[in-house]
Amino acid sequence: MRDRHRSADRAQARRDPRGRSRAGRPVRAAAAARIAVCVTSAAVMLTSGVGWFAYHWVNNGLITSSALDALRKGAPPRLDDSVNLLLIGLDSRKDMDGNDLPKEFVQQELHAGSSGIGGYNTNTLILMHIPADGGKVTAFSIPRDDYVEIAGGRGEHKIKEAYGIAKAEAEDKLTAQGIKGAELEHRGREAGREATLATVQQFLGVPIDHFAEVNLLGFYDIAKVVQPVQVCLKKPVRDRYSGADFPAGLQDLDARQALAFVRQRHGLTGGDLDRTHRQQAFISSVTHKLKSQGVWSDLGKLQGLFDVVKKDVVIDDRWNILDFARQAPNLTGGNAEFHTLPIAGFATRKGEDVNLVDPVKVRSLVQAMIGRQAPTPDEPSAPARSAAPADAASTTVDVHNASGVVGAAATESKSLSALGYRTGQVANAPVSRTTTVVYGKGAEAAAQRIAASHGVSAVPGAAVPAGHVVVTLGVGFTTSAPPSPSPHPSGGDAKPAAPSPVPSDAFQGDAVKMGGVPCVD
Amino acid sequence: MAGRRTETLGEEAGRRGARSRTAPHASARVPDPRSARTTARNTRARTRDGRPLLLGAGALLVVGAVVDEARGTGLGWLFVLAAAASAVLAALACSRELTWWAFALPPWAIAVVGLTAQLLADSSAKGGNTATTMTTALHWAIDTFPAMAAAETSVLAVGIFRTVRSRRYRRAVHA
């Protein structure tokens, strides 16, 4: 019996090694497969977790505003999934809590006088339209001195003043409620944002989906991260107000110089309007640099940029950075075009030089450009402006001020110069009730256009030199800017332009195309 | 094997099987042929019982994704809840030997369902450039990680619950 058991055990012992060797491979294979599945599963979860943490790291700490909430009810209807983004450049020398920035910093780095200057003017207002299909981005710069109706029944003012007016109003009320300090500043700014957003929405007739607000310090800090930024100037410039002192041609700017570059307006032919082109060109240069260095797809490089954005930039609380990044590959890729919205002329209102605008025309242009509707056939702008005068550069315009309004001739001369005419004599004249336009030999066509913009007829004058036009501004003169004849080639790339729904000269100056380093005045 | 108690989702069934044994230790040491046949049948039945649960878990996950996408807000808290519930079902459906599947499966299932939902619901996610690919991947991560975390936590909770209950049961039996 015992032997039988022993022999059975031996038999079992013989079978076992064979059994193990047969089953060994499948067991090992199964174990390897199990490990592989577990490891890859862990890898999937780790990848997902890293992405999740990275996104939340980026998103957390952004300064957000709910100012857009108040606008959504009365916003123009959305026709598709396109996105309209408003960039607001605030000319404030204070930090987010309303504290003055260090005096030395403001004077030496920002070259912006003292903290008391500038107030809360929105010196940069750029609406960017990103089509639903992610196509070419169209951006519109709103000249800061456009004289428009400020939302909230605040009357007509320069559009840049909407922010400050609303902020001051809100702060008066809040102070009466005992609110002060940083809280007062935050709530005041929120009111300022609401008024600016509502005013722009009302002025352009398109819904604003998102906004980003940056002040002087924010701009400086961002420029510091991306410096040096290459820009191109057509002419050398020197301006003691902004600190701009640049030669002509391509050059690299540091943060301080970049700020001077986008702030200079004195000494430029087109004044504020040239400054607008500078801002557009700078955005194009920065985008070009970020793209060419691969920053958009480099989380490490984006980190520095986001650190600054978190500190100095205010965005709306519904802005999903990720969705935006996906919607705007053409923006980050440089497929965008900037236009400066047209003005109807210059005038003095409430003792200040302002840009007169035709809101109906502006709305029509913007909506035609972003495909909401075709431009109105009876719109005076399109057909009238399609025939840009070729003789403007050879016409010298002398402006005499007989209106009694201080600075009227200088303003008029500046505006005509911005449109390509050569600046002539600017002088005062005995007060006259009528506005006259007199021309010399060879300047009849230009004179007629200028006269038409003043609602008068041009007459020949024997005493006027050949190629000259003499404009005498009378009491109560009105101006509507004549068509811009001056070509300002400022595109960075020589890409073939897509057919535009409106004539290119319907805007103030030529468009600035992103995708390179545009050369500007 | 026949005398071994298989802890499956059918934990309840297992307990019923255990209760039916008047002497568990004796039964384990000296298998009764009739009892062994019954246990084997039960094991097969329990294995079959797990499949509908696994299918239900998968369906629940898909339904969560579909409902969330239909709400227009992308994959959100409903998807997270569905993932957690699905993981619980999957964990209950697995035997103790296969518990590792309950841990390994959810990230894969959630990743696949999340990516599919994203590609089907958002046409812009299919772009070919680097930025689009990167943002799509990041979007996928943001959408799926909370669901994965919730699912794994649920599986862990089920595992702990089952272990504690099993120990209590063993203590009760040995007492």
Question: Using an 8 Å Cβ cutoff, are A395 and A446 in contact?
Answer: yes
Residue A479 located in a structural domain? no
Give the pLDDT score at A500. Answer: 56
Looking at the structure, tell me whether residues A340 and A425 fall in a common domain. Answer: no
B55-74 pLDDT per residue, tens: 888 899 999 888 888 887 77
Asked, for residue B44, whether it belongs to a domain, the answer is no
Nearest chain A residue to B139, by CA: A322
Tell me the three-class secondary structure of A364-400, residue by residue. HHHHHHCCCCCCCCCCCHHHHHHCCCCCHHHCEEEEE
The answer to whether the beta carbons of residues A281 and A234 sit under 8 Å apart is no
| The pLDDT of residue B124 is above 70 | no
Query: In this complex, which of A34, A37, A297 lies closest to B131 when CB atoms are compared?
Result: A297
* Residue length of chain A: 521
A239 within 8 A of A267, measured Cβ to Cβ: yes
Indicate the number of domains in chain B. 1
Residues A178 and A209 in one domain: yes
User: A507 to chain B, minimum CA–CA distance in Å?
Assistant: 32
My answer on whether A286 and A421 are in the same domain is no
Confidence at residue A23, expressed as pLDDT on a 0 to 100 scale: 52
Tokens of A159: 């559009």
Residue A133 DSSP code = T
Q: Is residue A12 part of a domain?
A: no
The confidence score (pLDDT) of residue B126 equals 59
What residues of chain A lie within 8 A of the CB of B142, using their CB? 51-52, 55, 322
Instruction: Tokens 């005992």: give the residue.
Output: A178
Res A106: pLDDT: 76
In a shared domain, residues A423 and A506: no
Q: Chain B closest CA to A312's CA: distance in Å?
A: 24
Q: Which residue of B has its CA nearest to A59?
A: B142
Q: How many domains does chain A have?
A: 3
Collapsing DSSP to helix, strand or coil, A196 comes out as: helix
Chain B closest-CA separation from residue A480 CA (Å): 44
Best probe of the B interface among A40, A52, A130, A318, by most B CBs < 10 A, is A52
Spacing of C-alpha A63 from chain mean position:
19
In a domain, B96, yes or no: yes
| Dist. CA B28–CA B23, nearest whole Å | 9
CB of A467 less than 8 A from some CB of B: no
Question: Contacts of residue B130 in chain A, CB cutoff 8 Å?
Answer: 297
Q: What is the 3-state secondary structure (H, E, C) of A47-75?
A: HHHHHHHHHHHHHCCCEEECCCHHHHCCC
Q: Do B145 and A51 touch (CB under 8 A)?
A: yes
Final residue in a domain of this structure, among A7, A37, A60: A60
**Do A224 and A267 belong together in one domain?**
yes
CB atoms within 10 A of CB A505: 21
Confidence (pTM): 0.62
- Give the range of the structural domain holding residue A54, as residue numbers without chain letter: 25-60
Chain A interface mutation, best of B119, B145, B152, highest count of A Cβ atoms under 10 Å: B145
Spell out the residues 6+ positions from residue A27 whose beta carbon is closer than 8 angstroms to its own: none
- What distance in Å separates residue A43's CA from the closest CA in chain B? 9
Q: Has residue B31 been placed in a domain?
A: no
The verdict on A194 and A298 lying in the same domain is yes
- For chain A, the 3-state helix, strand and coil shares in percent, each to the nearest 5, are 45, 20, 35
Number of A–B residue contacts, CB under 8 Å: 79
Same domain, A241 and A92: yes
- Inter-chain contact B104–A47, Cβ cutoff 8 Å? no
Name which of B79, B105, B142 to mutate to probe chain A: the one with the most chain A Cβ atoms within 10 A of its Cβ.
B142
**B-chain residue closest to A321, CA distance:** B135
Enumerate helices (H) and strands (E) in chain A, giving the number of each: 15, 22
pLDDT in tens, B2-48: 344 444 444 444 444 444 444 444 444 444 555 555 555 555 544 55
- Whether B160 is in a domain gets the answer yes
pLDDT (tens, 9 = 90+) of chain A, 521 residues, equals 445 555 444 544 444 444 444 556 677 888 888 889 899 999 999 999 998 888 888 778 888 999 998 888 777 877 777 889 999 998 888 888 888 887 777 777 777 666 566 578 998 899 999 887 767 888 999 999 999 999 989 999 999 999 999 999 999 999 999 998 889 999 999 999 999 999 999 999 899 999 999 888 888 888 888 888 888 888 888 888 888 888 888 888 888 888 888 888 887 777 778 888 888 888 888 888 877 777 666 666 677 778 888 888 899 988 877 777 766 666 666 678 888 999 888 888 888 889 999 998 899 888 888 875 544 444 433 333 333 355 777 788 888 888 776 677 877 777 777 677 888 888 888 877 778 888 888 888 788 778 766 667 788 888 888 888 888 887 666 554 444 433 333 333 333 444 455 666 677 777 777 777 888 88
- Decide if A478 is inside a domain: no
- Residue A256 near residue A109 (C-beta atoms within 8 A): yes
From chain B, the residues in CB contact with A47 under 8 A are 141
The rounded distance, in Å, linking the Cα atoms of A220 and A254 is: 9
Q: Token pair for residue A53?
A: 């943490």
- Domain carrying residue B68: 50-174
Verify whether the Cβ–Cβ distance A51 to B137 is below 8 Å.
yes
Q: Same domain for A201 and A92?
A: yes
Which A residues in the span 20-39 are in contact with B, Cβ-Cβ below 8 Å? Answer: 34, 37-38
Q: How do A229-233 and A63-65 pair as beta strands? A: unpaired
pLDDT at site A491: 38
Alpha helices of chain B — where are they, by DSSP H?
11-20, 24-29, 33-70, 77-93, 99-121, 130-174
Q: Where are the alpha helices (DSSP H) in A419-482?
A: 444-454
- Give, in degrees to the nearest 5, the angle at Cα A280 between A289 and A128: 100
Q: Does A41 touch chain B (CB under 8 A)?
A: yes
Q: Rounded to the nearest 5°, which phi and psi values hold at B153?
A: -65, -40
**DSSP assignments along A151-186, one per residue:** TTT--EEEGGGHHHHHHHHHHHHHHHTT--HHHHHH
Nearest to B108 among A34, A44, A134 (CB): A44
Q: Both A307 and A329 in a single domain?
A: yes
SS3 for A85?
strand
Longest dimension (CA), chain B: 69
Residue A444 lies in a domain: yes
Contacts of A48 in chain B (CB under 8 A): 107, 111, 140-141, 144-145, 148
Nearest CB to A41; choose among B104, B142, B145: B104
Tell me the CATH number at A443: 3.30.70.2390
DSSP for A323-379, written as a single string:
HHHHH-HHHHTT-EEEEE----EEEEETTEEEEE--HHHHHHHHHHHTTSSPPPTT-
Q: Is residue B26 part of a domain?
A: no
A450 and A513 belong to one structural domain: no
In a domain, A1, yes or no: no
Are A358 and A244 found together in one domain? Answer: yes
In a shared domain, residues A375 and A509: yes
A chain contacts of residue B106, beta-carbon cutoff 8 Å: 41
b/e sequence A100-123, b meaning 16+ C-beta within 10 Å: ebeeeebbebbbbeebeebbbbbb
Cis peptide bond prior to A228, omega within 30° of 0: yes
Q: Bigger pLDDT: A420 or B145?
A: B145
